[in-house]
Amino acid sequence: MTHYQKLLRVSTNGKSLYNITSKIAEIVAESGVQTGLCTLFLRHTSASLIIQENADPDVLLDLANFMAKLVPESAKYIHDAEGSDDMPAHIRTALTHTSEHIPINKGYLVLGTWQGIYVWEHRQQNHTRELVVHISG
């Protein structure tokens, strides 16, 4: 079995969803693995990974609006040492994922027609997020 691992740095410009599908696809191609599994792990507690629709940007906007209502920044949190957006970011990450697993077939990610892979930045500030991409096959 072949293993291939790469650290991908994703620059974010504040709270938003960042499509990283093409970057992950490039790493899968680099690996040479034809049949296997791509495991993604985001090394942070205030950003997350999601697989979501990549055709209509309104879906992402509705998700962001829903999450803002579900976990408001205006609530009174005990943990506020890093700003008013930090604790809500931790809660949003706990409600979503920091890892994903995607099959690989014939050297390509097996995603649905309208699926994309996103880093969901939950903080207002710019960050560089680290994503471990591990491919086995």
Q: What is the pLDDT of residues 96-136, one digit of tens each?
A: 999 999 999 999 999 999 999 999 999 999 999 999 999 99
Q: Domain range spanning residue 110?
A: 3-136
pLDDT for 81 equals 87
pLDDT for 80 equals 87
Q: How many CB atoms lie within 10 A of CB 132?
A: 14
| Regions of the chain with pLDDT less than 70 | none
Count: domains in the chain = 1
3-13 vs 126-136, strand pairing mode: antiparallel
**Distance in angstroms (rounded) separating the CA atoms of residues 53 and 84:** 29
pLDDT for 32 equals 98
**Distance in angstroms (rounded) separating the CA atoms of residues 127 and 6:** 19
CATH of the domain at 120: 2.60.120.460
